[in-house]
Amino acid sequence: MKKMRDRNLVASLFLLLFCAGYAYLTANLATRAIENTTQPSFFPWVITACLTVLSFSLFVQACIPNSIQTVPKPLDIPPKRLGCALILSISYLALLPILGFVGANILLFSGLMYLYGERRLTQILTFSFLISIIIFYLFREIFQIRLPAGILERIL
Partner 1 sequence: MSPDIINGFLQASQVTTIIAVASGCFIGLIIGMIPGLTISTGIIIVLPLTFVLEPDISIALLLGLYVSGMTGGSFSAILLNIPGTPSASATALDGHPMAKKGEGGRALGIAIIASFIGGLFSFLCLYLIAPILAEIALKFKSPDLFSLVFFGLTIICSFAAKSLIKGLLSAVIGLAIVTIGQDPMMGTTRFTFDQVNLISGIHFLTALIGLFAIPQLADNLSDILQAKTQNKNSSSINSILPKILDLKLMRLPMIIGSAIGSFLGILPGAGGPIAAFISYDYARKFSKKSEEFGKGSPEGIAAPESANNAVTGGALIPMMTLGIPGDPVTAILIGALLIHGLAPGPLLFVENGEFAYGIIFSFFWANIFNVVIALIGLRYLVRVLTIPKTLLMPTIAILCVIGSYALRNNFFDVYVMFSFGLLGIIMRWLDIPIVPLLLAMVLGRQLEEHLRVSLISSQNDITVFFTSPFSLLFLCLAGASIFWSFWAEHKSKKETF
User: Binding partner 1 by CB under 8 A: which of 23, 147, 149, 152?
Assistant: 147
State the burial class of residue 41 (Cβ atoms within 10 Å of its Cβ: 0-12, 13-18, 19+).
Answer: middle
Closer residue to partner 1 (CB): 61 or 156: 61
How far apart, in whole angstroms, are the C-alpha atoms of residue 135 and residue 51? 42
Closer residue to partner 1 (CB): 68 or 155: 68
The answer for residues whose C-beta is within 8 angstroms of residue 66's C-beta and 6 or more apart is: none
Residue 80 binds to partner 1 (criterion: CB under 8 A): no
User: Binding partner 1 by CB under 8 A: which of 33, 117, 154, 155?
Assistant: 117
How far apart, in whole angstroms, are the C-alpha atoms of residue 148 and residue 156? 10
How far lies 154's CA from each of 101, 138, 148, 150, 151, in Å? 14, 18, 11, 9, 7
Please state the closest distance from residue 154 (CB atom) to partner 1, in A: 20
Residue 103 binds to partner 1 (criterion: CB under 8 A): no
User: Binding partner 1 by CB under 8 A: which of 97, 137, 151, 153?
Assistant: 97
Residue 128 binds to partner 1 (criterion: CB under 8 A): yes
Closer residue to partner 1 (CB): 2 or 32: 32
**Angle (nearest 5°) at CA 99 between 127 and 115:** 40
Do the beta carbons of residue 4 and residue 69 sit within 8 Å? yes
Phi, psi of 47 (to 5 degrees): -65, -40
Residues of this chain that interact with partner 1 (CB under 8 A) are 4, 7-8, 11, 15, 22, 25, 29-30, 32, 34, 36-38, 40-44, 46-47, 50-51, 54-55, 57-58, 61, 67-72, 74-77, 81-82, 85, 89, 93, 96-97, 101, 105, 108-109, 112-113, 115-118, 123, 127-128, 131-132, 135, 139, 143-147
